[in-house]
Structures are given as C-alpha cells and as structure tokens.
Structure 1
Amino acid sequence: MTSLSKQIQAAPIGHPAYSQTFPCQPETAEIGRKLVRDALAVWRLDDLADRAVLIMSELIANAVRHTPYPSIRLMVGRPSAVRVRIGVVDRAPSRLPVLSPADADDESGRGLLLIDAIADRWGYDLCRSRSRVWAKEVWAELLKEAGQ
C-alpha cells in the first residue's frame, strides 16, 4: 500500500493545495480519504471532512472504473478561505463524466449523483498541452457556511 510521502502543510501565501500521483487502484481511496482529512485539519475546515471524504472516494472509484491508465493524481485545494476543491486527474480525457440516473436495480452508477447531491458544485476541466488534450480533472467544491 502506498502512503503519503509528505506531511501536509498549509501554504503561508497564495492558494494552499496538495496533489500527488498514486496507482489507479481501489486501494487508493483510503489514501485519498486520509489526504482530504489531513488537509482539512491543517486548514481548520474539519466540518467539511465527512462530505469531502465521500466525494474523494467517489471520484477515485469513477477513475478506477473508467480509466485504463495505471495512475491518477489526487488533488485537494483551497481556492479561498471558505472553499475547498477536491479533484482527481486521469489520462482518459475522452471519457467525460455524465450525470445520469441509475435504475433501482443497478448495482453501480450513482457516484456522480451522490457528488451532485452533497457538493456545492462540481465539474471537469480538460488538461491541455499546446493543442493536445492529455487528461481531465473531475472536481467538486465545498463551501464553509458562515458561522461554522
């Protein structure tokens, strides 16, 4: 099992973020959950942890299921004092996420529906290098509510 190789530390300026590449395997979900909890603890945003952990787990599960490449990049960022962004980058940009209803007897296919229900917003960005699209990041954002 791969473990986090660096301690998470809040950046003193700019937008703090953490990212690292891991195997595209179901076991990576445990690492992703720890990454999210550790980052949110450093940023004192523990109240977002339960939703953030669930989002990271679902994003990793989708990448594992739909990506034929051996690795993915996990990302946790803090674009503002009250916003957290959780993302997974994979090298299958032609396989875009689609929000679609699952039938009652389906055993899978509800991950994006769950993310849509608990995230403040979500989407994907294509990663380009010159004129070539080489990857995509599927992401979700959570906002810290006033008074929390």
Structure 2
Amino acid sequence: MLNPLIPAPADLPGYLAKYTARDTAPGQARHDVARALTSWGLEQLVDTAKLLVSELVTNAVVHTNSRVISVTVSRTGGTTVRIVVMDTDRTEITPAASLGDDEVSGRGLLLVEDLAVRWGIERVVTGKRVWCVLDAQQVTL
C-alpha cells in the first residue's frame, strides 16, 4: 500500500487510498472500505461493499497495466455511498463477453450490476474509473 486510508477534506465526506497493483491490494481495499463504512455507522453495507471493491480492485490488478490503483469511498447521502476504483490503463473498455455455465471467472462485473444500485465505467484522461453506488436501504447481501 502506498499510503494509508486518509480522510477527504471536511467538505467532502469520504476516504481515499492508493495501492500498489499487486495481489494484496484487494484485501487492503476491503479492510479500508469496511473501516470507512463502519465509521459512518453503515455497517449493513460492509459485506456488499467488501465484495464489490474486491472484484473491482482485482480487475484493475489482473486486467490492466496499472502500477497504482486508487479507491475512494464517499458518503453521498444518509444511507448511500459511492465507491470508485481508478486505474491508469488507457486501453479501450470492452463489455464482458457471454459466459458459459462452466466458466469459473469473469463474473465480477455481473456481481457489481446485481448488487449495486447504480454502477458505471468511465474513461478519464489518466485511465479509467469504475464506480458503484450502494444504498443501506436496498442491501441484498
């Protein structure tokens, strides 16, 4: 991990952490996001958030050439949060291919789609960001 989870400025309720793109990054991100949600009293989101951030960070580690991955979690309302995973890979974003019943990987974004209230992928000048919004009133895990 490059730096610990740090609070965002006072006018932006959120946390930011940057991780070296290696196999320990998903676990570190899970821990940090859970800590942020717990500090806001949103424990009911922890399990879902840990699963989704793990999937998104793993995708960035495995499928990009990024050296650093950043994760932000922002409180966007009384019961809602937005999680953003950003990498520096500038390759074209392609939708997931159809998976056969016997495929053992490639379902991460399907989990995000099923469990998040909203989600998306955006190209930015420095790479791309994948985000999802969770609502404690609509928890499915």
TM-score, length-normalised on structure 2?
0.86
Q: 1:139 aligns with which of 126, 131, 134?
A: 131
Q: Please state if 1:5 is matched with 2:4.
A: yes
Q: What does residue 109 of structure 1 align with?
A: 106
CA distance in 2 between partners of 1:47 and 1:111 (Å): 21
CA distance in 1 between partners of 2:126 and 2:70 (Å): 13
Q: Please state if 1:31 is matched with 2:23.
A: no
Q: Shift of the alpha carbon at 1:101?
A: 3.2
Q: Which runs of 5+ in 2 are unaligned?
A: none
Query: Following superposition of structure 1 onto structure 2, how do residues 1-148 of structure 1 map, counting pairs within 5 Å?
Result: 2=1, 5-6=4-5, 14-96=11-93, 98-127=95-124, 133-145=125-137
CA contact (8 A) 1:24 1:70 kept: yes
Q: Shift of the alpha carbon at 1:104?
A: 1.3
Q: What does residue 130 of structure 1 align with?
A: none
Say if 1:99 and 1:80 are closer, same or farther in 2 by CA, change over 3 A. farther
Identical-pair percentage: 34
Q: Shift of the alpha carbon at 1:97?
A: 5.4
